Structure 1
Amino acid sequence: MTDTIEARGLTKRYGDRLAVDELTFTIQPGRVTGFLGPNGAGKSTTMRLVLGLDAPTSGTVTVHGRPYAELLHPLHTVGALLDARAVHPGRTAAHHLLALAQTAGIGRARVDEVLGLVGLSDVAGKRAGTFSLGMSQRLGIAGALLGDPPVLMFDEPVNGLDPEGIRWIRGLMRELAAEGRTVLVSSHLMSEMALTAQHLLVLGRGQLIADTGIDDFLRLHSEETVLVRTDETDRMARLLRRTGATFELRDDALLVLDRTAADLGRLAAAEGIALSELTPSRGSLEDVFMALTHDSVEYGVRA
């Protein structure tokens, strides 16, 4: 049995509000899955359903083939960070983790180990209530790692982290996935998800919009453009017009909208035009995400 998170027809209503609508997906080990969606899309609700903190109205969600409540050793199976501030402010970082560890038969040595992994060894004796949001995030991540679980879930883990901390957690997520773990990470930072995730789950108004690799997501939902630079810009522009290509002038370059880089290279070579740059690109993850979820935004700015 693999360490997957599986949802089948997962639905959750709060009164008249449909928060999660017939979600079916499988989150696989060995990769970082980015969990994306506008505010109110249902990401946090879905995570709470996975962890048994809320009960589904209908459908099922399992971890390692079982509902969370039926796991024999939950802390050793799933590690989660949903709210970095959900810590008793009077406890020290070490005592907070030790209290968690003792519920699962985990020794003090592991507490010291995870404090070192997240960079909190020097403040292990400080009260959690004095921590910045970034330090609280690190403590929450330490708690998630405490049982060395094969499945990990993080809700907005980069909030409050400085650039060094963001780079650190990016590397950590990648390392955990490379070890064969199942890693689910939600975030509103599209630029960070583009650097961290290999797979995407995208929600809009509780429904699944996309479940695909990040490269496929960009390829399916954005057009490729090619930036062309040459010392013979005018001549290249005339050639593009003659062949019916669509392009825009960008300072000293040409942005071609409907030809591949290979096509343009062959075209220029046939005419003896030397190119100094031929760069294909697609829309950013942020651009594609915003376009795809435009109609799913719960709170938007009206023009």
Structure 2
Amino acid sequence: MIEAVSLTKRYGNTVAVDNLSFSVKPGKVTGFLGPNGAGKSTTMRMALGLDNPTSGQIRIDGKIYQDLKYPLRKVGALVDPRWVHPNRSARAHLAWMARSNRIQAKRIDEVLDAVGLTAVAGKRVGGFSLGMSQRLGIASALLGDPEILMFDEPVNGLDPEGILWIRNLMHRLADEGRTVFVSSHLLSEMALTASELVVIGRGKLISQSTTDEFVARASDDAVRVRSPHLQRLRGALTDAGATVHEVDDAIIVSGMDSANIGETAAAHNVVLHELSPQQGSLEQAFMQITGDSVQYHSDLDEAPGQVLASGTN
């Protein structure tokens, strides 16, 4: 279990993480989402002892990372896939990590095989592509067979087959009862991978819930309706206070639920061919809920031909 308690990190006058509290439980894949500059990477770095909190704590099974005797056996992490000496081979890199935490040497071959790098285990890491570096980083995270895994943008540089592979890997790790905490900007992928979400903005907690609850909370009450008498129905629904938009051979109705739409149609002798509530996407929910927390914007509408960006992640 990962638990942040009143976690705060300041860099001079800048507050990167602001009194943040959340928990990540075992047996599930928990997504860590937020706009650029929200504090996700800083939070993960504090969890791994790479940055010290200004105040508060983030604990791994009740302990801070520095107090873990053999940390790789408790928590495995992928934060920066390029953090490897370029002249070392993949096998040599894993070997020194294994020795530092008294992990048996046979485990090196097991994780190399698990991530598909056996054939290049003896090659210099400096010649690896980003996708291969990601796989080596994941092998490093798996090396100690840890109970807790943290992945920061693990699908960067992976092809579609690699993305499917890491998604299935995370599901399998969670099914084994491990704690899996993963950040990503690919919201469509998070929708398929994470069953729980921790969402932050400007260093503060915005939401902690299941993925379905997060999407449902942000989705408008919209219903897709098809009928051979759309114009008659549209007038009746508008008169009843609903908002109606035409989409191809259907209308999208908001401000009225399916039951009331059906009753209105019946009262006006309108035959219905479809009456289906519309489910929003994770991307739509994320944009709606985090809109006020976006720190860095680009606006092409206000300045055509120019990208107005105030910063990077």
Other structure's SS at 1:136 match:
helix
With over 3 angstroms needed to count, the CA separation of the structure-2 counterparts of 1:175 and 1:264, relative to structure 1, is farther
Other structure's SS at 1:154 match:
strand
In the TM superposition, what is the alpha-carbon distance from 1:269 to its structure 2 partner?
5.9
The residue that corresponds to 1:179 in the other structure is: 176
The residue that corresponds to 2:123 in the other structure is: 126
**Aligned counterparts, 1:109-124, within 5 A:** 109-124=106-121
**Aligned counterparts, 1:14-93, within 5 A:** 14-93=11-90
Other structure's SS at 2:83 match:
coil
Q: Distance in 1 between matches of 2:97 and 2:226?
A: 59
Q: Distance in 1 between matches of 2:267 and 2:161?
A: 49
1:252 has 2:249 as partner: yes
**Aligned counterparts, 1:214-293, within 5 A:** 214-265=211-262, 267-268=264-265, 273-293=270-290
Q: Distance in 1 between matches of 2:5 and 2:165?
A: 34
**Aligned counterparts, 1:88-103, within 5 A:** 88-103=85-100
In the TM superposition, what is the alpha-carbon distance from 1:48 to its structure 2 partner?
0.8
Other structure's SS at 2:49 match:
coil
* One-letter identity of the residue aligned with 1:292: I
Other structure's SS at 1:293 match:
helix
Q: Encode CA deviations 1:179-212: one digit per residue, 9 max, x unaligned.
A: 1111111111111111111111111111111111
1:193 has 2:190 as partner: yes
Q: Distance in 2 between matches of 1:152 and 1:235?
A: 57
Q: Distance in 2 between matches of 1:227 and 1:174?
A: 33
With over 3 angstroms needed to count, the CA separation of the structure-2 counterparts of 1:178 and 1:273, relative to structure 1, is farther
Q: Distance in 2 between matches of 1:269 and 1:130?
A: 68
Other structure's SS at 1:290 match:
helix
Contact kept in structure 1, 2:227 and 2:273, CA below 8 Å: yes
TM-score by length of 2: 0.90
**Aligned counterparts, 1:103-182, within 5 A:** 103-182=100-179
Identify unmatched segments of 5+ residues in structure 1.
none
Q: Distance in 2 between matches of 1:79 and 1:266?
A: 56
Identify unmatched segments of 5+ residues in structure 2.
303-313
Contact kept in structure 1, 2:233 and 2:268, CA below 8 Å: no
Q: Encode CA deviations 1:243-281: one digit per residue, 9 max, x unaligned.
A: 443211112101011233344445546766544333322
**Aligned counterparts, 1:291-302, within 5 A:** 291-302=288-299
* One-letter identity of the residue aligned with 1:253: A
* One-letter identity of the residue aligned with 1:38: P
Cα RMSD, aligned residues only: 1.8
Q: Distance in 2 between matches of 1:239 and 1:249?
A: 15
In the TM superposition, what is the alpha-carbon distance from 1:46 to its structure 2 partner?
0.5
In the TM superposition, what is the alpha-carbon distance from 1:93 to its structure 2 partner?
1.3
* One-letter identity of the residue aligned with 2:29: V
Q: Distance in 2 between matches of 1:232 and 1:295?
A: 41
* One-letter identity of the residue aligned with 1:256: V
